[in-house]
Amino acid sequence: MISKKIQKALQGSSAIRAMFVEGKEMAARFGAEHVYDFSLGNPATPAPSAVNDAMRDILREADERGAVGSMELHGYMENAGYEAVRRAIADNLNKRFGTDFDAHNITMTVGAAGGMNIIFKTILNPGDEVIAFAPFFGEYRGYADNFDAVLITVAPDKETFQPDLSDFANKITENTRAVIVNTPNNPTGVIYKPETMRRIAAILEDKQKEYGTDIYLISDEPYRELVYDGNQVDFLTKYYKNTIVGYSFSKSLSLPGERIGYVAVPNEAADAEDLIRGIEISNRTLGFVNAPSLIQKAVARCLEEQTDVAFYDENRRMLYEELTKLGFTCIKPEGAFYLWMKSPVENEEAFVNEGKKYHILMVKGTAFGCPGFVRLAYCVSHETVKNALPAFAKLAAAYGLRKE
Ligand code: PLP
């Protein structure tokens, strides 16, 4: 008999993953070129060639060093990861954002998902509250549940998709242990404005004083470098000292299957040394032990590399312009690779099902805690976007938005 928790998890199993499976089935039935799968954030751009080159070089260098090289590359290591890798990341962050990290502030993680889980394990007691701004990455629910914490959600402003900060202030209680910020945002593509971040920080400072607690701001940032039109994403430690950064190379270097990211804890965070040691231990006790070794070394050599943002930008422009012309209401993405679109009918699940009739796969907003909207992941080939446009025209016509 499986546990009650997992029984519950199976019932609410990820809508995105379910759609991924459905997309594969539809592709087998109708041919991949006739299915427009915008469901999963799986990057269509290849990893920069420097990544594979680095992996080959690292393997060759290990071979040249014989048994010592093999042990160094394939053996156990510190739970936080290779010191040289962590130092390279700290130096890179210091150069880009004026921080003062050294290797000990960085823990290498099994992607952002691994990072979030080891942070949660380190700071949460059962019953603690974690606040997420809707719409949010649906997996946060499962991560909070792993540690018997309660996920509390804050409503967005449905025009701008910046968070509603009066709702935020009202939701903070003496049990609030953490607040998650994800900007550029999955699923909206919105970047939180500096003013939003300043106000979030001010509210948190006030509430910490009011309750005599520490509230950590967790910056979940897999999309930091995926920004358009010259937009910038601030490094959030500059607003609020109790910030913990969780980064991932899954999207920035198109490496989601490699499972690599890091957590950065600044020295000025409350109980920073305990946090850092706790995060390292959690990496071990949750069974990750350490982030995969070869890809750790490879990303450390590719910190100046970037995925092809122009590729996503072309999809972004094409999809936003064409869908808007067809009469759909879309939020213009400023970053990440998602388009957030209003469902023409209140029940967006019905709209998602209607889309499937035209072989368009979208994810319902309810999966992100925000009904009435859908998400399109445009990290697909240009052809998929182009070929999908006539299908979207039919879908628009089905709702009387604009005639074909
Ligand atoms: N956080 C957000 C907001 C995401 O969109 C994702 C992946 O899509 C993750 C975390 C998990 O990323 P990773 O593959 O690095 O675990």
Does any ligand 1 atom lie closer than 6 A to the CB of residue 137?
yes
Spacing, Cα 113 to ligand 1 middle (Å): 6
Which of 105, 92, 85, 117 lies closest to 264, judged by CA? Answer: 105
Question: Each residue of 101-159: pLDDT tens digit?
Answer: 999 999 999 999 999 999 999 999 999 999 999 999 999 999 999 999 999 999 999 99
C-alpha separations of 347 from 203, 342, 364, 401 in Å: 34, 11, 9, 16
- Residue among 364, 385, 227 nearest 320 (CA): 385
Burial of 20 (0-12, 13-18, 19+ CB in 10 A): middle
Is residue 24 over pLDDT 90? Answer: no
Task: Give the model's pLDDT for residue 19.
Answer: 78
Burial of 159 (0-12, 13-18, 19+ CB in 10 A): exposed
Structure tokens at 304: 């100046």
Over the stretch 332-362, which tens digit does the pLDDT of each residue have? 999 999 999 999 999 999 999 999 999 999 9
Question: In this predicted structure, what is the pLDDT of residue 20?
Answer: 77
Counting ligand 1 atoms within 8 A of each CB, the residue from 137, 140, 143, 260 with the most, and so the one to mutate, is 137
Q: Environment class of residue 323 by beta-carbon count within 10 Å: exposed (0-12), middle (13-18) or buried (19+)?
A: buried
Q: What is d(CA 280, CA 118) in angstroms, rounded to the nearest whole number?
A: 8
pLDDT tens per residue across span 162-177: 999 999 999 999 999 9
pLDDT of 382 higher than 60: yes
Q: What is the pLDDT of residue 366?
A: 96
Alpha carbon 15 to chain centroid, angstroms? 16
List the single range of 13-27, 89-103, 187-201, 353-367 with lowest mean pLDDT.
13-27
End-to-end CA, the chain: 53
The pLDDT assigned to 11 comes to 81
Report pLDDT for 13.
66
Angle at 222 between CA 218 and CA 224, to 5 degrees: 90
Q: Which atom of ligand 1 is nearest to the CA of 220?
A: 1
What per-residue confidence (pLDDT) applies to 12?
72
- With DSSP H G I counted as helix, E B as strand and the rest as coil, what are the percentages for the chain, rounded to 5? 50, 15, 40
- Print burial letters for 110-137: b (CB count within 10 Å at least 16), e (below 16): bbbbbbbbbbbbbbbeeebbbbbbbbbb
Q: How confident is residue 286, by pLDDT bands cut at 50, 70 and 90?
A: very high
pTM for this prediction? 0.96
Q: Which residue's CA is minimally distant from atom 2 of ligand 1?
A: 137
Say which amino acid occupies 308. D
With a 6 Å cutoff on the Cβ, whether 111 touches ligand 1 is yes
Residue scoring higher pLDDT (324 or 404): 324
Tell me the H-state helices in 263-376: 272-285, 293-300, 309-325, 348-357
**pLDDT for 403:** 52
- Among protein residues, the one with the nearest Cα to ligand 1's atom 8 is 41
Output the pLDDT for position 267: 98
| pLDDT score at 14 | 65
Rounded Cα–Cα distance for residues 204 and 200 (Å): 6
Which residues touch 220 (CB under 8 Å, ≥6 apart)?
112, 115, 116, 137, 180, 181, 182, 246
Per the CB < 8 A criterion, the answer to whether 191 and 184 are in contact is yes
